[in-house]
Every structure is written in C-alpha cells, then in structure tokens.
C-alpha cells in the first residue's frame, strides 16, 4: 500500500544511511541505521507510523532539502 507520508526510501549499507524522501519533497538522511531496521521499515504496513516510532528521535539525521 502506498504511503501518504513517505514517497521513497533508500538505504546505503556501506554508510548505514537511511534516506527518506517524503511526499512533501523533504529529504532526510538518518545515520547509523542498522540494515534490520531498514528491512523492517520496508515491510511495515504504515511507513509513516514506523518512522515515528522506530526512527525519528532514535537516530541522528541530516536534512538534505
């Protein structure tokens, strides 16, 4: 099911960076995210809810744009 909040999710395993592009156009890189968290996000029924409970506030991030 498409997310109403998250547009795309990319993972860079060599850097442990999770890049989230939101429907609004904002892009964030979350740092030191383990691969199992990325995989769980991909499987989640609600990407936005997963982000709120398991990623936001738990990992440092850079706002890309």
For 16-25, write each residue's pLDDT tens digit: 999 999 999 9
Average pLDDT over all residues of the chain: 94
User: What pLDDT is stored for residue 4 in this prediction?
Assistant: 81
pLDDT above 80 (res 1): no
pTM given for the model: 0.91
CA-to-CA dists, residue 60 to 9, 23, 28, 33, 35, angstroms: 16, 21, 10, 9, 16
User: What pLDDT is stored for residue 47 in this prediction?
Assistant: 94
* Range 40-50 average pLDDT: 94
């Amino acid at each position: 099911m498409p997310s109403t909040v998250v547009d795309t999710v990319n993972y860079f395993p060599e850097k442990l960076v999770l890049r989230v592009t939101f429907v609004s156009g904002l892009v964030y890189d979350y740092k030191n995210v383990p691969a199992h968290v990325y995989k769980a996000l991909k499987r989640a029924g609600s990407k936005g809810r997963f982000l709120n409970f398991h990623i936001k506030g738990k990992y440092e991030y850079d706002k890309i744009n």
